[in-house]
Amino acid sequence: MFKLLDGSQTLGRGWTFWSCFLVVLTAALIYPVFADSYDVGNFSYFLIWIFMALGLCLMWGYGGMLSFGQTLFFGISGYAYGVLAINMGGGSTTIAALILSIVIAMIAAGILGYFMIWGGINGIFFGIVTLSATLVLAFFLGQTAGPEWHIGPARLNGYNGMKGMDPLAVGDFYIEGSALYYFMVALIVIVYLALRMLVNSRIGNVIVATRENPQRAEMLGYDVRKYQLLTFIIGSGLAGLSGALYTSWGQFITPSSIGLPAAAMPIVWVAFSGRTDLTATLVGSFLLLFGFQTITVYSQQAALVLMGALLLATVMLAPQGFVLGVGKLVADRWTARRRRGASAALADASRLQPDET
């Protein structure tokens, strides 16, 4: 099963890549020892969004479905976590609330995806429909400020945002600060490795084949609709994971985390990073989030303008993504250097041969 970690659908393989992976992971694990708690909290915040980016990478880059609905499922799961955590009483039940909220987001994705995919919606129309659904949810939640909008004791609160839910907890131990950071790192490692195995598996082959030529894939006996739906549910479920973690992290969620500017962000992260590779998306999204947060401290508007400029630059200069382009360049140079080294060694050996005999 683990041999699927390397394959034709993912950049990076062999001991060099996995050594680098372990170095980065080790650095991530020892980071809280050296950083202050504010920075660790910030890093946890960046990591929250990575799941959403990886989900979009799977749908768009591998499956060819450009979904503007990542914040739709982020919102569904985020609000679901809030409602469930408040209604179930907090404490250890928050773990159940986390799982249930992701399941709810996946069920919603299954229903929306079924009607879109079985209805033959594809290409740009897939983006339009998912964006429309996202905006409908954002507008709906925006008008829930009145006291009549509540589910049990959980008030939705319109644009003021929903609050009062517990963070994730096991017994009396709240998963906050460094604990939350380690929880995020563990989840990212699991999700990243699982997605690598998925895209390099037989299912992954069909997902990519469907992106390339859905009619040909169907002519090989695959019901491409089922594979598209599966991809959409997994990708949207990952957005749901981001949403539930976000609400748990901040104990707060508002409709603005669903609306148009928020919905465009995952597209920018994934396009800039390189939508056809999970590693590029992971690294690129983290870098962009870090940069965005740093600039936001000075000016939120400037950060948004920069994101727009980056999207334009990506489309015009590196349509396959900047991080993926750099990654491929490094990989090609590394391979060429090793080949030159091997050729030189072979030439030396052949020169030595006459003397030895």
Partner 1 sequence: MALVDVKGVTKRFGGLTAVSDVDLTVNAGEIHCLIGPNGAGKSTLFKLIVGLYPPTKGAILFDSIDITEERPFARVQRGMSIKMQAPSVFKELRVRQNIQIALQKRFSDAKRVVEEDRLLTLLHLAPESGKLAGALSHGQQQWLEIGMALALQPQLLLLDEPTAGMSPEETFRTGELIKSFNAEGMTVLVVEHDMAFVRQIAQRVTVLHLGKIFARGNLEAIIQDEKVAEIYLGKTHAH
Measured from the CB of residue 199, what is the shortest distance to partner 1 in angstroms?
13
Nearer to partner 1, 154 or 208 (CB): 208
Which member of 76, 206, 244, 268 binds partner 1 (CB under 8 A)? 206
Least distance from partner 1 to the Cβ atom of residue 337, Å: 20
Residue that the structure tokens 């989030």 belong to: 289
Q: How far apart are CA 204 and CA 219, in angstroms?
A: 17
Does 2 participate in binding partner 1 (rule CB under 8 A)? no
Options 222, 246, 269, 322; binder of partner 1; rule CB under 8 A: 222
**Sequence-separated contacts (24+) of 150-155 with Cβ below 8 Å:** 151/83, 151/87, 152/83, 152/86, 152/87, 153/86, 153/87, 154/82, 154/83, 154/86, 154/87
164-203 mask for partner 1 (x: CB under 8 A)? Answer: --------------------------------------x-
Does position 120 interact with partner 1 (CB under 8 A)? The reply is: no
Q: Is 224 in the site for partner 1 (CB under 8 A)?
A: yes
Specify the stretch interacting with partner 1 by CB under 8 A; choose among 105-113, 155-163, 204-212, 243-251: 204-212
Question: Judged by CB under 8 A, does residue 221 bind partner 1?
Answer: yes
- What part of residues 6-35 is at the interface with partner 1 (CB under 8 A)? 8
Of 187, 176, 183, 155, the closest CA to residue 249 belongs to 176
Within the chain, residue ranges assigned H as helices are 14-34, 37-56, 70-88, 93-118, 124-142, 177-199, 202-212, 214-219, 224-250, 260-273, 278-296, 300-317, 322-356
Does 339 contact partner 1 by CB under 8 A? no
Return the SS3 of 257. helix
Q: Taking CB under 8 A as the rule, does residue 332 contact partner 1?
A: no
Among 53, 57, 217, 238, binds partner 1 (CB under 8 A): 217
User: Least separation, in Å, of the C-beta of 221 and partner 1?
Assistant: 4
For residue 90, give the nearest of 210, 183, 172 by alpha carbon.
172
Pick the closer one to partner 1 by CB: 226 or 349: 226
Q: H or E stretch including 253?
A: strand 252-253
Q: Are 9 and 61 in contact (CB under 8 A)?
A: no
Compute the least distance from the CB of residue 319 to partner 1, in Å.
13
Judged by CB under 8 A, the stretch of 176-184, 211-219, 242-250, 279-287 that binds partner 1 is 211-219
If the CB atoms of residues 202 and 351 are measured against partner 1, the closer one turns out to be 202
Q: Please state, in angstroms and rounded to a whole number, the distance separating the CA atoms of residues 169 and 90.
A: 8
Please answer whether residues 228 and 236 qualify as being in contact, where contact means their C-beta atoms are separated by less than 8 angstroms. Answer: no
Residues that bind partner 1 in the complex, under the rule CB under 8 A: 8, 202, 205-206, 208-209, 212-213, 215-224
